[in-house]
Amino acid sequence: MIEIKNLYKRYHNHHGSDWVLKNINATIPQGVSVGLIGANGAGKSTLLRLIAGMDTPERGEVIRRSRVSWPVGLSGGMQGNMTGRQNVKFVARVQGSGEEDVKRVIKFVEDFAEIGPAFDEPIRTYSSGMRSRISFGLSFAFDFDVYISDEATAVGDRAFKEKAKNLFESKVGKASLIMVSHSEGILKDLCQAGLYIKQGQAFWYDDINEAIDAYHADVDAKKRAGESNLPDNVQDARRYLQECHQILKSAQETLQDAQETNHTEDEVSAAKKDVAAAAATAKEVRMHIEALEEEARAKRKV
């Protein structure tokens, strides 16, 4: 079980320090997989990092009464001059694995990653897709009670995404997931409950479909009122831009993986379209931020 009590979070910088999350209170029951729902820039990834212990709240606390994973697929901590095998062995030992379990972890990651002889080459020589395969397999090589995922299933080519989804599904019933994903299909397939993040607060739904429906109802209401779906303040818009950059990065990694592994022309073409669409969205948000900043400057002059 994970308890979130009176949690507040904001980031102090020269753009301002409005609250990202305000007085969040929620209890995530043991064995229940939860999808974090919300508009772009609402604070979903921020809350996920707080639950994982990768960030600290301004106020309040997260109480973990279960073994929580690091974010699935996180590869930032791998040492570039060490081989894939050496990195996996190092992490296994840090996790307290004995000699036999270290061997099990290495075999699991090697079999899952399917990168052949490159497993014994330095990580710095890997493509982003190869690093994703290693880090994803490594995340699931250990038995956590709760697995944390922030868009983990968005990385890699189509075959890898399917393999990653199957690995998530294999944990359902044995462990629970707390995940952020732009794919509502993934959330519906893997999660039972939903936590809808809106205007800095969190609303719990026992049914993931009800959480998604509530989010869509708010989006539709905004459209009827003629409001933009883009955040209406600079700070939220900047957080959304960070999400856009992550989506663009994932799309670029998928394209790179498709080109390096001799995928069909249709698959490469689809990957290129995804990159173009993600880049266009990021550009739109940057222009939106510039307009918001210009509007703020004009108000200060009045």
pLDDT at position 120, please? 95
pLDDT at position 118, please? 93
Domain membership of residue 253 (yes or no) is: yes
Q: How many CA atoms lie within 13 A of 138 on its CB side?
A: 27
Domain membership of residue 200 (yes or no) is: no
Domain membership of residue 280 (yes or no) is: yes
pLDDT at position 72, please? 78
Residue 299 sits in which domain range?
230-302
pLDDT at position 113, please? 87
pLDDT digits (tens, 9 = 90+) for 117-152: 999 999 999 887 788 788 888 888 888 899 888 876
**Based on the structure, what is the number of domains in the chain?**
1
Domain membership of residue 255 (yes or no) is: yes
Domain membership of residue 45 (yes or no) is: no
- Which DSSP string do the residues of 186-235 spell out, in sequence order? HHHHH-SEEEEEETTEEEEESSHHHHHHHHHHHHHHHHHTT--SS-SSHH
Is 187 exposed, middle or buried, given 0-12, 13-18 or 19+ CB atoms closer than 10 A? buried
* Positions of the chain with pLDDT under 50: none
Give the chain's radius of gyration (CA, Å): 20
pLDDT at position 26, please? 92
pLDDT at position 84, please? 92
- Which DSSP string do the residues of 222-274 spell out, in sequence order? HHHTT--SS-SSHHHHHHHHHHHHHHHHHHHHHHHHHHHTT--HHHHHHHHHH
Confirm whether pTM is higher than 0.85: no
16 φ/ψ angles, rounded to the nearest 5 degrees: 125, 175
Domain membership of residue 284 (yes or no) is: yes
Q: CA–CA separation, 274 vs 250, rounded Å?
A: 10
pLDDT at position 155, please? 57
Q: What angle do CA 174, 175, 176 make, to 5 degrees?
A: 135
pLDDT digits (tens, 9 = 90+) for 246-286: 778 777 877 777 777 666 787 778 778 888 888 888 888 88
- Residue with structure tokens 């918001």? 292
Task: Indicate the residue type of 156.
Answer: G
Domain membership of residue 245 (yes or no) is: yes
Domain membership of residue 292 (yes or no) is: yes
